[in-house]
Amino acid sequence: MYPELRRLAEKFLDRERDGHTLQPTALVHEAYVRLIEQACPDFQNRAHFLGVAGQLMRQILIDHARARNAEKRGGGAANFPLDDALDTAVDRPLTLMAVDDALRALEKKDAGKAKLIEMRFFGGLTIEESAEVSGSTVDKVRADLRLAQAWLQRELSRTSKTSK
């Protein structure tokens, strides 16, 4: 599983700004430490394990971004579309934190849809793997992902308008 975790870490770090201080190996190792600190999670299969590992890596990067920006309070967040935030490089830690805040808000409203976003965009799982892990159909996962993406886009738009 290590090579797959390393590829996942590289994918996450490719989305980060140039010169990021975390390296893929360090990200994998930190995620592993957090995995073993959990109370014996019951992984259903390989896809479930990779989804959990991806979620932990995302949280590590968010924690890193929050710590980096702790002394840099202030300044407005820029308006950015969800697709850009999820599919392209995250140059500003503020963008990553805004996506995380919106995802946490979605989790409060619909934990299942938030989990699908995490599995798909942050865990690198395919729609089929996400359906397998969630015990749902591929069509239901596609529909739920569309709804979740639209909700997140609206939330991110609101956030960027209120921070101007």
Structure pTM? Answer: 0.54
114 touches 103 (CB < 8 A): yes
Cα(32)–Cα(41) distance, integer angstroms: 13
pLDDT digits (tens, 9 = 90+) for 1-59: 888 888 878 877 776 666 667 788 888 888 888 887 776 667 777 777 877 888 888 88
pLDDT digits (tens, 9 = 90+) for 57-86: 888 888 887 777 654 544 444 545 555 555
Domain that holds residue 152: 2-162
3-state secondary structure of 123: coil
Cα(41)–Cα(35) distance, integer angstroms: 8
Q: Total domain count for the chain?
A: 1
Contacts of 164 (CB under 8 A, 6+ apart): 76, 79
Beta bridge partner(s), residue 95: none
